[in-house]
Every structure is written in structure tokens, then in C-alpha cells.
Structure 1
Amino acid sequence: MDGLLTPAAIRTDVAEALHRHPDENFDDEDLFECGLDSIRLMTLLERWRAAGAEVTFVDLAERPTVKHWVRLLVGDHD
């Protein structure tokens, strides 16, 4: 990846998709329970692929939390 994806950028993208504020702490929440649907997930996936991510829909859908997605997309940033 070329560094365009950061934990903050991922949180901001997810917050935007869920109509939430990126400063809210929802890193461990199940994003499907928060209102994320497959269409929004595909939108996020395509955005992140354009930034260089090499993940699949299944990679993201299996564990739908910001915390897990940050690990998948940019590595461990706890």
C-alpha cells in the first residue's frame, strides 16, 4: 500500500458511511448492527482498493469492526 490508508482515514470513512462522528469510539462495535449494509461495505471496499488495499468483501464482512479492519488494512495500530 502507498500510505494513503491510515487508521484515522478508515475510521472517518466508516463514520461517514454510518452518519456518525469520527471521534466517537465505535472501534469494537459490530458495524452491521450499527447500520452498515452490503452496499455501503462495497463502497468502502472500492474506496480502499483504490488506495491500494488488497482485501475482499469476505475479509471485511467476517469481522465487521473498525478495529479489525484497521489491522487488515494498515497493520496493528492499537
Structure 2
Amino acid sequence: TFPDGTKKSVGVVLPATLTFNTGAPEIMECVAGGCEYKLAGTDVWQKSGPGEKFSIPGNSSFEIRVTEAYHYICHFG
């Protein structure tokens, strides 16, 4: 949590296929590597690479498919 109240986390997803649930809306920003993701209620896998972002609504979920380490910053709210 930053002084202005914004919340962020950083991390690395290693090769896997995972499902994440959200409470608050999230923006996933790729720093290095890449992934494919599929938002809840869709059947389309989309790609995200360095410098790209994707948004997930609050109280939802997304699947993420990683074949190389995916380094990210997650922006909450």
C-alpha cells in the first residue's frame, strides 16, 4: 500500500495453468516473460507480453497459462 492509498503487488508465475479469483478489480501489467489469459465468462485465450496490461473485474476470476516465467505488477482497485 502506497502513501496515496493505491495497492500493488509484484510476483512471478512459473510455468503452469492456474485460476485466480478477484475481490477488487485488478490490472495485470507484464514486466517480463508472457502469458495467455482467459477472463471468466469468455472462451477466448488472449496473449499478454512485456509492456502490456489486462483488466479483470472485481468479484470475478481469470485463468492464466504460462510457458515461461511471467513477471508482473498487479494494480488493485
Scaled by the length of structure 1, what TM-score is found?
Answer: 0.27
Structure ranking higher in strand proportion:
2
Instruction: Give the number of the structure whose residues are more often helix, by fraction.
Output: 1
Larger Cα-atom Rg: 2
Query: What's the TM-score, normalizing by structure 2?
Result: 0.27
